[in-house]
Amino acid sequence: MNEVKYYRLNQCGILEIKTCNNQLHRIKEHLHEELSIGIIEKGTGQLIVDGESYNVKKGDVFLISPFRTHACLPNDTADWQYTILFIKNDYYDQLESLGKIPLKSLNDFAFQNICELVHRFRFNNIVPQDKLQMDEFIKAILKEADKEVCLHTNKKLQQVKEFIENYYASNFTIKNLVDQFGIQQFTLIKAFRRYYNTTPIAYKIQLRLDHAKHLLRSEENISKVAALSGFYDQAQFTKEFRKIYGVTPQSYQLAATEKSTD
């Protein structure tokens, strides 16, 4: 079945689980406010971080720190399945101190164990030791990564990025950023894309969509969510949301408030 599903949990630090089977979406790079764990369950694909591409395959897992622009795309949509866990940022400091994104290939035994663990979380069948098992799993990825995706930094661009993160709901333009930080427009756009694989304004839209995603979990009116997130056209909001998350705001809102059933 070709589908994208979301499961709202808030169990043992896991806030949400997303599954995707045989479907291509998120053609645009995107971000999450939470720490994310990606598990490739079927097929092969490309993990794109900071404009660089890394091969991933069944059995690979990776951690993505909050607000890190990335994408994960299949080589063949007919042979593709993955799960993303969105968790509280308890490990954020450890991840940032690495300056890299860990990417690890699991053996068959470890892969089966994590898939079974995720299944229990997803369908509310957890047992007390599951939280400890998830903690140990994350620590193992942090310490024993097979590959490490380097993250590039630039002090001036980091200041621009932080400004966008603080004021994404406001209507600033690229000219406002040029005036604020004293960087020529062409240089700013080119450098920002080089380091973050997106433009400043596109990054602002990504942040708005992520904020909207969180508002939708509390069952706010769709038009109100769009406005509170900086969108003044609900049709455009719906279009952009579906590009990034693979479902409409209405479908996500329903999934986020339903309980998982086997």
Instruction: Choose among 249, 244, 197, 247: nearest CA to 223.
Output: 249
pLDDT in tens, the chain (262 residues): 557 888 877 666 677 888 888 665 555 678 888 888 899 999 999 888 766 788 999 999 988 888 888 888 888 888 889 999 888 767 666 666 555 667 888 888 888 888 888 888 887 777 667 777 777 887 777 777 766 666 666 889 989 999 999 999 999 999 999 999 999 999 999 999 888 878 999 999 999 999 999 899 886 799 999 999 999 889 999 999 988 888 899 988 887 555 444 4
Instruction: Choose among 242, 260, 254, 259: nearest CA to 217.
Output: 254
Phi and psi angles of residue 2, each rounded to the nearest 5 degrees, phi first: -90, 110
Tokens 């993505």 sit at which residue? 64
How many Cβ atoms from other residues are within 10 Å of residue 214's Cβ? 16
**pTM for this one?**
0.75
What residue ranges in the chain does DSSP mark as E strands?
3-11, 14-21, 35-42, 44-49, 52-57, 60-64, 70-74, 81-87, 100-105, 147-150
In the chain the domains, ranked by start, together with CATH numbers, are 3-150 (2.60.120.810), 155-257 (1.10.10.60)
Q: Kindly give, in sequence order, each residue whose CB lies less than 8 Å from that of residue 176, ignoring residues fewer than 6 positions away.
A: none
Q: What's the sign of the alpha-carbon dihedral 58, 61, 65, 66? A: positive
